[in-house]
Homo-oligomer: A and B are copies of this chain.
Amino acid sequence: MAEKAKATIHDIAEVLNITASTVSRALNNNPRISDNTRKLVLKTAKQLNYQPNNIAAALRNGKSHIIGIIVPTADRTFFASVVRGIEEIANKINYKVIICQSYDNYDKEVQTIDALLSARVDGIIASIGKNTEDFSHFKRAQEKGIPLVLFDRTTDELEVSQIMIDDYLGAFKVTEHLIQQGCRRIAHFTSPKKVSIFRERLRGYTDALKKHNLPVLDELIVGSNLQLEDGRKSMEKLLALPEMPDAVFSASDYGAMGAMQVLKERKIKIPQEVALAGFSNEPFTSFTDPPLTTVDQFSIQMGNMTAELFFEQLKQNGKKHLPQKTVLKPELIIRQSTLKK
């Protein structure tokens, strides 16, 4: 029972007294194989419990039918959903997906690229780590002719197809919505990191203020890592100001939650005294009390589209292609945390 020698096409060939090439062709539906032979081969394959060895085929063909995905972390809803979206498409055309996490660690990201190249993946789909400022590891991959597509956390420093949401627009919509609700002193939680998504959200925020002739005040813009704890601290910082804000727009839902906790602890009414909005539409935002206004990023669809973009590029087989930049429109999800009226 230990060594059920795995059957190969040679074993099948031997049984039928034909050669491995014929078996291979029969299994691959090559038209030059007679129906009779094909049937015999299939039958014998089943009998021997034959399982094709993709590794051998991959070596010969130079195609592994595996694509590598790099995400900062796989257990955040957004990334998990995008991955799911990618996998849905990949599976349909018989591709498998290797998931790698960079943990927002630059060195790990570099290593991961090398590992994927060594694994001879047919291509790479990635969302860049927060701390990455040098992109030569991605360039190396591209130079080897490996198709590369970036999503969400992207960069313009690479000639690469990318798919992201319009963070600027999302933030603009949130801010404008807050203004329409009558807020005039709107604070913003952002991240000082160089990741473009946060800069874009900041830009959307400031532009909306400007459009409505509201001042952009440094004291109301708080930088942090945007986690729950950061949200708490940022909120406390704001409450220590001479004049309280009448709204907080956090660039992350987690940051908004931290703010919500502090506000509730201090019995500050949401949204009457301070309106609150987040970004990402994490599942929990509909459960909170009050439910949180936020921005939906269509993560599964984003995964689908990323995969489609990727496979399109893969089909072109290394030929030059113009990098496409697809920008998805996010949707403002208005909930009670901002509904003053």
Find the residue from A56, A75, A289 having the highest chain B CB count within 10 A: A75
Q: Give A27 to B147 CA distance when docked, in angstroms.
A: 28
Q: Give A24 to B64 CA distance when docked, in angstroms.
A: 22
A258 to chain B, nearest CB (A): 9
Taken together, the copies of this chain in the complex come to 2
Known: A87-B101, A120-B55, A145-B4. A264 touches B284 (CB 8 A): no
Place the interface of chain A in its size category: 35 or more
For residue A97, CB closer than 8 A to chain B, the reply is: yes
Encoded as 1 (CB less than 8 Å from any B CB) or 0, chain A from 1 to 43 comes to: 1111010000000000000000000000000000000000000
Are B100 and A98 in contact, with the CB atoms below 8 A? no
Encoded as 1 (CB less than 8 Å from any B CB) or 0, chain A from 58 to 76 comes to: 1100001010000001111
Of A110-118, A164-172, A189-197, A243-251, the stretch lying at the interface with chain B is: A110-118
A103 to chain B, nearest CB (A): 9
For residue A262, CB closer than 8 A to chain B, the reply is: no
Are A75 and B80 in contact, with the CB atoms below 8 A? yes
For residue A96, CB closer than 8 A to chain B, the reply is: yes
For residue A323, CB closer than 8 A to chain B, the reply is: no
Are B288 and A143 in contact, with the CB atoms below 8 A? no
Q: Which of A85-136 contact B (CB under 8 A)?
A: 87, 91, 94, 96-101, 114-115, 117-120
Q: Of B51, B91, B257, which is within 8 A of A117 by CB?
A: B51
**Using Cβ atoms and an 8 Å threshold, which residues of chain B touch A56?**
59
Q: Give A264 to B290 CA distance when docked, in angstroms.
A: 11
Are A84 and B66 in contact, with the CB atoms below 8 A? no
A12 to chain B, nearest CB (A): 15
A236 to chain B, nearest CB (A): 18
Q: Give A9 to B297 CA distance when docked, in angstroms.
A: 46
Q: Which of A41-58 contact B (CB under 8 A)?
A: 49, 51-56, 58
